[in-house]
Chain A
Amino acid sequence: MSRHEATPSQTVGPFFRLGLDRPEWSDLTREGPRGEKIALEGRILDGDGAPVDDAVLEIWQADADGRYDHPEDARRADPGFRGFGRAMTDEAGRYRFVTIRPGRVPGRGGGLQAPHVNLTIFARGLLKQLVTRIYFADEPSNDSDPVLIGIADPAVRRTLLAVRQDGGAAYRFDVVLQGKGETAFFDL
Chain B
Amino acid sequence: MAKSHEPYARPRPGVQPPYLHREYGSTLKRAPSRALLPLQQTLSEITGPRFPAGSAGPELVDLTRQGKGEALGQRIIVAGRLLEEGGRPLPRVLIELWQCNAAGRYLHGKDQHDAPLDPNFTGVGRAITNDKGEYRFLTILPGAYPWRNTSNAWRPAHIHFSVFGPAFASRLITQMYFPGDPLLPLDPIYNSVPDEAARRRLVSAYDPALSEAEFALGYRFDVVLRGRESTPFEDDR
Interfacial chain A residues near B224, Cβ < 8 Å: 4-7
A18 touches B225 (CB 8 A): no
> Chain B interface secondary structure, helix, strand, loop or mixed?
loop
B33 at the interface (CB under 8 A from A): yes
B78 at the interface (CB under 8 A from A): no
A127 touches B235 (CB 8 A): no
Interfacial chain A residues near B36, Cβ < 8 Å: 185-187
Interfacial chain A residues near B37, Cβ < 8 Å: 150-151, 184-187
A17 touches B108 (CB 8 A): yes
B123 touches A18 (CB 8 A): yes
A13 touches B31 (CB 8 A): no
**CA gap between A11 and B42 in the complex, in Å:** 26
B41 touches A128 (CB 8 A): no
Number of interface residues of A (CB under 8 A): 71
Most buried by B among A48, A184, A187, A188: A188
A10 touches B202 (CB 8 A): yes
A107 at the interface (CB under 8 A from B): yes
**CA gap between A82 and B164 in the complex, in Å:** 15
User: Could you say which of B85, B106, B174 contacts A8, with CB atoms under 8 Å apart?
Assistant: B174
**CA gap between A133 and B98 in the complex, in Å:** 28
B234 at the interface (CB under 8 A from A): yes
Interfacial chain B residues near A131, Cβ < 8 Å: 39
Using A20-B96, A125-B30 as known contacts, say yes or no to A10 and B197 having CB atoms under 8 A apart.
no
Contact with B along A109-120 (1 / 0, CB 8 A): 000010010101
B29 touches A125 (CB 8 A): yes
Contact with A along B199-237 (1 / 0, CB 8 A): 101100000000000000000001111110000011110
B49 touches A84 (CB 8 A): yes
**CA gap between A5 and B11 in the complex, in Å:** 9
For the side of the interface on B, what is the size category? 35 or more
> Chain A interface secondary structure, helix, strand, loop or mixed?
loop
Interfacial chain A residues near B26, Cβ < 8 Å: 11, 124-125
Interfacial chain B residues near A19, Cβ < 8 Å: 96-98, 123-125, 160, 162
Interfacial chain B residues near A58, Cβ < 8 Å: 171
**CA gap between A150 and B40 in the complex, in Å:** 11
> Nearest chain A CB to B169's CB is how many angstroms away?
6
B66 at the interface (CB under 8 A from A): no
CB proximity to B under 8 Å, residues A160-176:
none
B74 at the interface (CB under 8 A from A): no
B173 touches A122 (CB 8 A): yes
A1 touches B30 (CB 8 A): no
User: Could you say which of B17, B44, B106, B190 contacts A105, with CB atoms under 8 Å apart?
Assistant: B44
Interfacial chain B residues near A83, Cβ < 8 Å: 49
Residue of A nearest to B49 (CB): A84
User: Could you say which of B49, B189, B198 contacts A5, with CB atoms under 8 Å apart?
Assistant: B198
Using A62-B44, A120-B171, A127-B192 as known contacts, say yes or no to A5 and B85 having CB atoms under 8 A apart.
yes
The 8 closest A-B pairs by CB, nearest first: A19-B98, A125-B26, A84-B49, A70-B47, A2-B233, A187-B36, A125-B30, A127-B17
Name 20 A/B residue pairs within 8 A (Cβ), A-sorted. A2-B235, A4-B84, A5-B12, A6-B11, A6-B15, A10-B175, A11-B24, A12-B162, A13-B160, A17-B108, A18-B98, A18-B106, A20-B96, A60-B49, A72-B4, A84-B49, A128-B16, A146-B40, A185-B32, A188-B8
